[in-house]
Amino acid sequence: MKFAARLLLKLIGWKLIDLSERPAKAVVIGYPHTSNWDFPMALIGLAALALDIRWVGKDTMFAGWRGPIMRFLGGVPVNRRERTGFVQRVADEFNSHDHFHLVIAPEGTRSLTDGWKSGFYRIALAANVPVIAAVVDYPKREVGLLGCITLTGDEEHDMAQLNTCYAGRAGKRPKLASPIRLL
């Protein structure tokens, strides 16, 4: 898969970006999420990086015939309509694995919002793992990992660090990128 994904990126004119060192466990956030094309481009980029991942998506994406496919691709459904103890369940998953990378789109939607949902932040703190900033940058035609941040619990400080990672990066529809702040 790694070779095929790298070849595909090269053929379509995209550059792969990576960290010099990756932690064994991390919450990987994908921002900006402004298009349906973000999902396949991110999967290609992650395959090219040979990063074994799980990803979170709204449970409705897993309905019917799509469910088995989404789970095969590493998907974990989440019900965003009610509290289910999801943060603690995922933190427990981190603790039960030597290597675990969970991908989350912190905006939670492709539409413009006032900021990011806090689930990724709460999961990373509860599991005591860093956050990796990942991007699908359409204007630069780059996909990959930008930086790794160890959260301090000081939301303002941590979000400023993430803002620095994503400076100058844009999605397919830049006007739909939500501001980098927790709701």
Summarize pLDDT for 1-59 with one digit per residue, the tens: 899 999 999 999 999 999 999 999 999 999 999 998 998 999 899 999 998 888 877 78
Q: Tell whether the model's pLDDT for residue 113 goes beyond 70.
A: yes
User: Among all chains, which residue has been given the structure tokens 């088995």?
Assistant: 68
**Is residue 35 a contact partner of residue 50, using CB atoms and an 8 Å limit?**
no
Per-domain residue ranges of the chain? 2-168
Cβ burial 96-109 (10 Å sphere, 16+ → b, else e): eeeebbbbbbbbbe
Summarize pLDDT for 57-97 with one digit per residue, the tens: 778 888 999 999 988 888 878 776 677 788 888 888 888 88
- Residues 55 and 27: their CA atoms lie apart, in Å, by 10
Helix axes 38-48, 2-11, angle to 10 degrees: 120
The C-alpha angle 144, 54, 148, rounded to 5 degrees, equals 40
Q: pTM, whole model, 2 decimals?
A: 0.88
